[in-house]
Structure formats: structure tokens, C-alpha cells
Structure 1
Amino acid sequence: MLKDITSRVNQLEIRELLGYAVLSDPDAVDQAVDFYRNSEKNKLYGYEEEGLIIGVIGCSLKEKVLTIHHIAVIPENRGKDYGRGMILELLLHHQAEQVVAETDEEALGFYRSLGFEVYSLGETYPGVERFRCVYDVEEPGE
């Protein structure tokens, strides 16, 4: 079950999960924590199963566009569709018309498997190519 854990963003287990989304860079984890703690428009959700948070997804919504800022699942639960489930639950909850995410090459297979279109942003950091992933939600009956 997906639940809003924004108020718990500084807890150790939540910080650890965010670490998976930012390649375990301690400074990037601190920035992610501040990102959710310092703005009411940025929300962090956790996927809870049997009392444990096994995945997190952070997002913001503006004009029916849901932007995914962070997504991570604990390593032993990857490949079990938790990431897909979190995105689908957010889509239903927010009734978004489009979902966008920026990611690196490692996550492209995940986004493509969900039907996202992928666009290169080029080298946004020296030697690091980033990608914009976009999913347009179809209206029922389309």
C-alpha cells in the first residue's frame, strides 16, 4: 500500500531508500531530504508491505503533469513490479494526464517497459548522459 511519508523523510530507513535513488551519495541524499522537507508541493510516498517500507517514490504535480523526482525499491525486492505499482497508484491518486521523469541510462529499460517515450537530454554533467522519460495517459476508450 502506498502512503504519504513526506513527514518521515529524515528517518534512517527512508534516507536509505532515497540513497538508492541518488546512487548512495550522502550529499545527494541530504538534498533529496531537503527537497521534500522544504516544499509542500513535493511529496514522498512509501510502499509498505508487512509493516516495512520497501520502496519510495517522490513526485510533484503541476497542471495534471506528474513529475517523478526519485524512485527506489530495496534491492531484494527489485524486479517484482513494485516500481510499476507505485507509478500506477500515483497515476490513479493524482489523476495525472502525463508522467515525466529524468533518469540515467541504467533505468531506461524500466521506463520503456512501462510505455514511456525516452528522449536524450545529452550530457547534462561531464561524461553523463541523462534522459527525459514521458508517458501520456490515455483516456478510457482510446
Structure 2
Amino acid sequence: MLRPASSLTPEIAALLSRAMFPDPARIERMLEAYWTEGERQLFVWEVNGQTVSAAGVHVNGSEAELLHIGTHPDTVGQGYGRELLHAIAAHLNLSQLTAETDDDSVNFYRRSRFEIAEAPARGERRRYLCALTLP
């Protein structure tokens, strides 16, 4: 079940950190931005009262950019991340949800019905622009 997050609990921070560059100072700055930038919103997906996935988005009218999504290691591959993204899009009444990713996660977005396009590489890593267009 979708739930907007009203605070950044350690549990939510740990899930979001799974999608961030593993530098503690950078992670702290990125997490803090969820409370200092008004266009950012946090959501969680709960199963039986337990948070299994969390996502942060930057909302701009009827469009949003997915900034981070993380799923608990024990529940990866069970569809909770996909359900979370589609529920966020419906909750916010979005026309489009976008994300940028790399080879490690592009198949997650394909399975989640995002359209995939190549983006400029960063260093030696391929990048992809992912877009979910909604009716």
C-alpha cells in the first residue's frame, strides 16, 4: 500500500541510500534535500505494516522525476518497486514520470513499462532516460 512519508525515518533513509552513490557525506546531502527543497516528495510501499520500498520524486506540475528508489534486499524482485512507482503516478495524477539510470537498473524500468532511450554517458557508464507516460 502507498503511503506518503511525513518524515525521513532511518528505515526510509536506508532504502533510499541503496540508490545513491556510496559516499556518506553525499548521501547525507541528498537525503537532507528532501526536506529543504519543496518540490521533492517521499513515498513508501508497505506490506503488512512493513516498509519494503521507498522512492523520492521531484514534482513539477503534472510531471515528476524519480530521484531515488530502493527496495529492501529481502523483497527485491517481488514487484513492490514497480507497484510503488505506478501508485505514486496515480496519487499525484501525473502525465509523465521520468528517471535516469544505468545498465544496473535499466531492466527494472523496462519491466515497469517505461520507454527507454540512450542518454549521454557519464565516464565509462552508459546512461538511459526512462519515461512512463500516463493517460
- Relative to the length of structure 2, the TM-score reads 0.90
Matches of 1:133 and 1:71, distance apart in 2: 14
2:127 is aligned to: 130
Percent of aligned positions that are identical = 26
Matches of 1:65 and 1:103, distance apart in 2: 18
Matched AA of 1:48: E
81, 96, 114: which one aligns with 1:98: 96
Matches of 2:22 and 2:14, distance apart in 1: 8
1:3 is aligned to: 3
Contact 2:41 2:59 in 1 (8 A): no
Structure 1 unmatched runs, 5+? none
Bigger shift: residues 18-27 or 90-99: 18-27
Distance 1:24 1:74, change over 3 A: farther
Contact 1:18 1:29 in 2 (8 A): no
1:27-70 CA-to-partner distances (Å, cap 9, x unmatched) read 33212212201112100111122332211011122131121111
Matches of 2:89 and 2:132, distance apart in 1: 11
Matched AA of 1:8: S
1:74 CA displacement: 0.5
Q: Is the helix fraction higher in 1 or 2?
A: 1
1:4 CA displacement: 1.8
1:17 is aligned to: 15
Matched AA of 2:3: K
Matches of 2:102 and 2:29, distance apart in 1: 18
Q: Indicate whether 1:58 and 2:35 are aligned.
A: no
Matched AA of 1:119: A
Matches of 1:101 and 1:30, distance apart in 2: 21
1:122 CA displacement: 2.1
Matches of 1:24 and 1:61, distance apart in 2: 25
Structure 2 unmatched runs, 5+? none
SS of the aligned residue for 2:107 comes to helix
1:36 is aligned to: 34
Contact 2:34 2:42 in 1 (8 A): yes
1:70 is aligned to: 68
1:23 CA displacement: 4.7
Contact 2:42 2:57 in 1 (8 A): yes
SS of the aligned residue for 1:18 comes to helix
1:80 is aligned to: 78
